[in-house]
Amino acid sequence: MMSKTSDLRLLIVDDEEPARLLLRDYLRGAPGVTIVGECADGFAAVKAVTDLDPDLLLLDIQMPKLDGLEVLELIGREIAVVFVTAYDEYSIRAFEIHAVDYLLKPYSRERLLEALDRARERVARLGPRRKGAPASQAAATAGAGSATLPETVAAMDMRRSRRPLERILIRDRARIHVIPVGSIHYVEAQDDYISIVTKDRKLLKQQTLNELGQALDERRFVRVHRSFLLNIEHLARIETYAKDSRIAILKSGAQLPVSRSGYERLRGLL
């Protein structure tokens, strides 16, 4: 029962020290629980999940750099999570992305233990995993469980799309790039990837152009071509070469092909 191998491995993520103290205090002496780490911001949390591979996240929502929901998006695989926050306005979104529980600060020890019980059930359902396996392999194994990786991420992106995306997060091994959508000049589809082009960077993300297009503000980003999504704030002019053959010229000088239907969409917007 108390054996370490079956312990629920927890990661505490909260930017406020007293809030972390409370969790530690409540968990002191709780059976079957190991705290594997503490993080004070979203970046650290994403890294810690990779390094420590916890079973459960106790996750604050309002934090520096990345909020709790963005942390989950970047982790990119199904992981049991209990949100711990003073704000109740995120509860609907939290349950939409299948949070195990949602604790409102201040909460009692009983309430936390109840959440941990639910988390145990969830972890059991997520399927057996090899302890210490890298996250990517673990995710592959989790595919045999209730949800597969691409589905989860896509579903999350879709749900977020109710409010247009404000920034794009790209995880590049240990680094996390945060790109405000306003700084994007255009996005190009490249096989399974999309290439996001800004003033001085070109970043790859594993996502389809369709998915991203749906998540972005459709009044700012126009699908000018099957393979190109254009930020109209960076459009300089459109040149016509022949009937139905047009090129969009950006303020940066970049040139993108414009299809006929793309031109229609662009005209509808301008």
Partner 1 sequence: MTPLATTRRFIPPYLAAWVPIAGLLAAMLRLTPGTTWTGALAVAIPGSALLSFLCVAIRYPVRGLPAERMPVSRLLALHLGGAAFATAVWLGALRLWVEVLGQTRPFELLPEAFRSHAPLLAAAGLLLYLLAVTFHSLLRAVERSREAERRALELSLIARDAEIALLRSQVDPHFLFNALNSIAGLTRDDPDRARTLCLRLGDFLRAGLRIGSRARISLREELALARDYLEIERIRFGARLRVAEDVDEAGLSCPVPPLILLPLLENAVRHGISGLVEGGEVLIGVRVGGGGIEIIVENPRDAEARSRAGEGIGLRNVRRRLETLYGRAGGLAIRETPESFRIEIAIPRQLAPESGDGGGASERQG
Q: Does 233 bind partner 1 (CB under 8 A)?
A: no
Per rule CB under 8 A, is residue 29 in the interface with partner 1? no
Alpha helices in 32-108 (DSSP H): 42-52, 68-75, 91-96
**AA identity, residue 228:** F
Residue 47 touching partner 1 (CB under 8 A) = no
Q: How far apart are CA 262 and CA 109, in angstroms?
A: 57
DSSP secondary structure string for all residues of 71-93: HHHHH-S--EEEEEES--TTHHH
Which ranges of the chain does DSSP label H, i.e. alpha helix? 17-27, 42-52, 68-75, 91-96, 109-125, 135-142, 149-160, 209-215, 260-269
Instruction: In angstroms, give the least distance from the CB of 21 to partner 1.
Output: 4
Task: Rule CB under 8 A: say whether 114 interacts with partner 1.
Answer: no
Alpha carbon distance 202, 188 (integer Å): 10
Stretch that binds partner 1, among 39-47, 210-218, 222-230, 246-254 (CB under 8 A): 39-47
CB 137 within 8 A of CB 129: no
Q: Of 25, 151, 172, 239, which lies in the binding site for partner 1, with binding defined by CB under 8 A?
A: 25
Q: Does 106 bind partner 1 (CB under 8 A)?
A: yes
Q: Does residue 104 touch partner 1 according to CB under 8 A?
A: yes
Q: Which residue has the tokens 């999504």?
A: 229
Q: Is 18 in the site for partner 1 (CB under 8 A)?
A: yes
| Segment contacting partner 1 by CB under 8 A, of 105-113, 118-126, 127-135, 229-237 | 105-113
Applying CB under 8 A, the site for partner 1 has a residue count of 28
Instruction: State in angstroms the smallest separation of the CB of 148 from partner 1.
Output: 29
Whole-angstrom distance, CA of residue 91 vs CA of residue 21: 23
Q: Does 15 sit near partner 1 (CB under 8 A)?
A: yes
Q: Does 125 bind partner 1 (CB under 8 A)?
A: no
Within 201-230, the residues that bind partner 1 by CB under 8 A are none
Instruction: Write out the two tokens for 170.
Output: 């790209």
Q: Which of 214, 215, 219 is nearest to 231 (CA)?
A: 219
Question: What is the contact mask toward partner 1 in residues 157 to 196, using x (rule: CB under 8 A)?
Answer: ---------xx----------x-x-x--------------
Query: Please, what is the minimum distance in Å from the beta carbon of residue 65 to partner 1?
Result: 6
Interface residue with partner 1, options 30, 31, 35, 40 (CB under 8 A) = 40
